[in-house]
Amino acid sequence: MIDKLPVIEKLKIRRPDIYHQDLNCVRCGREKEDIDHLWKCIAATNDMIIIGIKSRRFLNKILCEHKKKDKIVEVLHKYTKLERELALFNTEENTAMYRKREDISFDKICI
């Protein structure tokens, strides 16, 4: 079903009278917009990160009163992280800095 999404490359086939063959991704304008590019488009980085943050907040909110909330959120949230998000935030420098500062994890606080 995902392969049926109306990306530019599909729209060019369906409606060649509207979509020119040289039309590229509407976000970045650099590459052909297909399913793979939707996830890798450099212009979508912020959107992807926001989706990840919101999903984790949502999990925390609905599980706030559950006794094993922290464990459940960790187990579920790892499946929502994208490779791009991991590469941006989980660098060796960031990891060392947070371990050194012993920061409180805001994910474990009920809001």
Q: Give the per-residue pLDDT at 81.
A: 65
pLDDT for the residue 32: 94
| Residue 95 lies inside a defined structural domain of this protein | yes
In a domain, 10, yes or no: yes
- Closest by CA to 59, choosing from 72, 46, 50, 78, is 72
Q: What average pLDDT values come out for the chain (111 residues) when binned by 10 residues?
A: 81 93 93 89 85 82 77 70 69 77 54 42
Residue 110 lies in a domain: no
Q: What is d(CA 78, CA 66) in angstroms, rounded to the nearest whole number?
A: 19
For residue 61, being part of any structural domain is answered with: yes
**Is 107 inside a domain boundary?**
no
Q: Are residues 30 and 52 in the same domain?
A: no
The verdict on 64 and 34 lying in the same domain is: no
Whether residue 88 is contained in a domain is answered as yes
Supply the range of the domain harboring residue 88.
45-101
The predicted pLDDT at position 71 comes to 76
Both 93 and 67 in one domain: the answer is yes
Q: Give the Cα separation of 93 and 71 in Å (integer).
A: 26
Q: Is residue 78 part of a domain?
A: yes
pTM of the full structure: 0.49
Among 110, 97, 35, smallest CA distance to 67 is for: 110
